[in-house]
Structures are given as C-alpha cells and as structure tokens.
Structure 1
Amino acid sequence: MIAIDLTNQTALVTGATGELGRVIARTLARSGADIIIHYYSNKEKANQLKQEIEQLGRKAFTIQADMSSLEAVLAMKSELIEAFRLPNIVVANAVSQYQWVSVLEQSTNDYVNQFNTTVLQIVHAAKAFVPHMIEQRGGRIIAINTECAMQNFPTQSAYVAGKRGMDGVCRVLAKEIGEHQITVNQVAPGWTISERDRQNNTEHSEEYERTVPLRRRGTDQEIANVVAFLASDLASFITGAYVPVSGGNVMPSI
C-alpha cells in the first residue's frame, strides 16, 4: 500500500490556529511530521493545538510572528534555530480578513494588506527558510491560494489581487530553486466546510453547490489531504502547480 509518510520531516504551518490551518497541522502530524505552529494573535489556540499534536506522538513548537514583516520572520527563524529546528516543509496558510466590497468602495489599504499577507508572506518565508532547504538538498513550499483567483467575481478584487500576486511569485520561485530539489506548489480550495460550519449547521449552500460539478462543498480535511500529498515524496516531481481542490468548480485550461 502506498502511504503518505512524513516521518523525520518538520513542517511550518503559518496561520495554524485558523479553521483550515488546524486541520492541515493535524493531518501533517498524523502523516509523521513534527509541526511548527505559527500564530499571529491566538496564543491560547496555538497551545491547545500543540497539545493535540503531542498527543499524536509528534513534537510541536508554537511561535508568534507577523508574516508581513521580514524582520519578524527572520526573528522567528532565529528563535527556531535556537529553540527547535528549521522546517523543510513550509505551508503558507496565514490570511488576513477584511470586508469584501466593490473596487469603487474598497479601501486602498485593503489592497496593501492583502499584498503584505499573501505576496510578501511567500517572499519572507522563502528568504528565511529556503537557504536551509538548499543546504538540505530538498524541501517543500506549499501556498494556500483560492478558486477566487480564477473566478474574479465582484467584490473579490483585493483578495484576488493578493492571491494572483502570490501565484506569480510561487511560479517564479519554483523555477529559481527547482535545481535544489525544492518544490513550490499551490493548493486552491473552493468554499470549504470548516469546523465552524459543522457547529453552526451551515455546511450546505444550494446556490453555490449548483455551480460545482461534484454538487457539494469540499471539506477542510479534503484540502489538508492535498497539502499532505504535495508535502510528501509522492509529489517529488510536481512543482509550479496551481491545484484546485474545488470539486471542479474551477478548471485551469491548457
């Protein structure tokens, strides 16, 4: 049987205290990886997740940083060197929330915010952690994108602008560091069912589900499964990919 085995791997999950981040962290841990739990403000949730991962038999380390700040990310790197270890898997999952309105109504600050927390998150993570991956002759960078980057619906402009910028950086980075056996890929979820949806009984939306060929919303676990695959040796010859996990709701064409 072919299995995803991340034994002896260390994964950094940014935004690990979020709805999707927690599931990604747990899934990578169940696959054998030790987990660096990055958080921005929710220290309590980070400590709770640490306990969960340790109960799975894996090592976990919590760390706070503003991923939009290079200084903060480099300080995070220094702390990891001193107190834990550097990752060879980086999952760029952190995201900033804001109100979605039309271009004419959207604050220009929202565009700057999305650029800082998507494009610069990848840039800063690369500057901090890719040198170690080069030394190790391998590594994985996995960015969480979105189906919205292909849909371009009204009120999505700031979000789409940031995620499309992320896409460009990831594709260029994949070409720049591929010779070192480091892969750079993107996972693009659709509108995903989270634990909050399950608690609030909001898993279904007939209007949205009608547009999806599989006629349902995907789950957070289904997204995390693809992240785990891309982090593993099973995906060793995949790089520069934008992988929709949206039930066919978006389909990149050739």
Structure 2
Amino acid sequence: MKIDLSNKTALVTGASGQLGRVMARTLASCGADVVIHYLKNETMARSLQNEIEALGRQALPLQADLTDADAAAKMKSQIFDRFDSLDILVANAVSQYTWTTILEQDLDDYVDQFETCVMQNVLLIKAFVPHMIERGYGRVIGINTECAMQNFPTQSAYVAGKRGMDGIYRILAKEVGEHQITVNQVAPGWTISDRDRENQTEIQAAYSASVPLKRRGTDQEIANVVAFLASDLASFITGAYIPVCGGNVMPTI
C-alpha cells in the first residue's frame, strides 16, 4: 500500500512559502503534476518547477493575488489551458502580519485575515469545485492551524480568519460530499521549516514542553498528511480538522 497520485493534478497555493514548497515536492514525489501558485517569490517557484520536472512530473508556476476574484478567474483559465483536470486543491496561502492584543491590533489586520483565510478559499472553491462536481471526484485540503483551538492572547486576527475558514470547509464537505469530493483541513503546530534549519532555530524548548511528543513537527510531517488526504487511501474521510502538532491540541468528542 502506497500513496499514489499518478494521473492527478494538484494546485498548491502559497507553494513558494516555507510549508507550501514541501507540500508541492511531496505531491509530485507521489506522482502528481503540480500547479505552483506564488504571490511574490518567483525564484522559489521556478526552482520548484525544476525540481518537479526532474521527477518526471509537469509543473506550472503561476503568480496571482488570490484575494482578487479576477486574478483567481485568470489563474483558473491558465490551469485549464495546460491541464485537463484539477483533482487536488491545497489551499495553503496566507498573509503575514504583526500579532498583538485585540485592543492594539489594527482593524485592517482583521480584514486582511478574513480576505486571505475566508474569501480566498471561497474564490478557490468557486473556481475549481464545479469542475470536480462534473467529474465526480475531488480533494479539497485547507491548511488551518492549531491556533484555531488554542485561542491564545495576540492570536485574534489569525484565529478569527482561520475559524471562518473552518466553517466554510465544514459546510462545503456537506454540500459536495455526494459528488465524492472530500473536504478536509490540516492544522499544523509551530513547524520546523527551511528557515529554522538555516537559522538553527529548530529547538524551541518552551513550546516543546507543552507538546505530548516533546518536540516540534517538521514541514515534511505536515506534507505527509496532505499527501494522504489527497490520495484514495483517504477516500472516506471528509469534514475533518486534523491537528498535526504532536498532540498539542486535541479535538474532543
């Protein structure tokens, strides 16, 4: 038994980012062709393209601001000009901002997180899920966060956006399940990335002390779960919010 994504096409948004790049590589290593979405980092997108093509898979780098409806529509057109189908949608892109208390947080930060966590997902869903419905197959995977359960001080704008995203995904799972489209969320903890490896900041003792597995997870461990959910091994899992954080948060029954 193995994860086999042969003859599948995946879109990874924010694929040039710290986590997105590993998910793109992993899906390709499982046999998928990959659309590499990026906002600013064209250099990394082109590097990923070369890596994926070296694996014998097709890769298409595309730049777009996915909070803009016209940009999302253009990206849809560009994808279907190249590929016959879009089987796997991994919504990973999110904007960065400075975290502070609710009393001090700029109102624009809440709007920003709503646009990137909620409206961006709505635009992606509207662009690609109708095609999945026509084919009677699809995988929609959103990257959420453990913060959505923690609700710690200074997390308010991020949590508000990600909790809004959670509602969209749970409802979508119920609306499109009859078409054999699964809709799930992966919720990483504070994950070790290339940036940590370069800066030698992998060890964060205070954080790891609260994690049952007593360590931070890696970007590859997150990507492994995404690949599983994208595969037919996860064909009867939908509507799930899956923390990949070593037990740092645990949804209850």
Q: Normalising to structure 1: TM-score of the pair?
A: 0.98
Deviation of residue 83 (structure 1)? 3.4
The reply on whether 1:138 has 2:131 as its aligned counterpart is no
SS at match of 1:101: coil
Aligned pairs for 1:104-143 within 5 A: 104-143=103-142
**Runs of 4+ that moved beyond 4 A:** none
What do you get for the CA RMSD once the two structures are aligned? 0.8
Tell me the equivalent position of 1:232.
231
Q: What is the CA–CA distance in structure 2 between the aligned matches of 1:159 and 1:108, rounded to whole Å?
A: 12
Aligned pairs for 1:169-208 within 5 A: 169-208=168-207
Are the equivalent residues in 2 in contact too, given 1:88–1:138 (CA < 8 A)?
Answer: yes
Are the equivalent residues in 2 in contact too, given 1:147–1:190 (CA < 8 A)?
Answer: yes
Tell me the equivalent position of 1:49.
48
Deviation of residue 219 (structure 1)? 0.2
Q: What is the CA–CA distance in structure 2 between the aligned matches of 1:83 and 1:35, rounded to whole Å?
A: 11
Tell me the equivalent position of 1:62.
61
5+ residue gaps, structure 1, are none
CA shift digits 1:29-51 (9 cap, x unpaired): 00000000001111121111100
5+ residue gaps, structure 2, are none
Deviation of residue 85 (structure 1)? 4.2
CA shift digits 1:183-217 (9 cap, x unpaired): 00000000000011011110011100110000000
Tell me the equivalent position of 1:216.
215
Q: What is the CA–CA distance in structure 1 between the aligned matches of 2:82 and 2:227, rounded to whole Å?
A: 25
Give the length in aligned residue pairs: 253
Aligned pairs for 1:72-91 within 5 A: 72-91=71-90
Aligned pairs for 1:27-38 within 5 A: 27-38=26-37
SS at match of 1:103: coil
The sequence identity of aligned pairs, in percent, is 68
Q: What is the CA–CA distance in structure 1 between the aligned matches of 2:128 and 2:57, rounded to whole Å?
A: 21
Please tell me the residue identity of whatever aligns with 2:51. E
CA shift digits 1:139-193 (9 cap, x unpaired): 0000000000000000000000000000000000000000000000000000000
CA shift digits 1:40-83 (9 cap, x unpaired): 11112111110011011111001111111122101111122223
Q: Normalising to structure 2: TM-score of the pair?
A: 0.99
Q: What is the CA–CA distance in structure 1 between the aligned matches of 2:202 and 2:79, rounded to whole Å?
A: 38
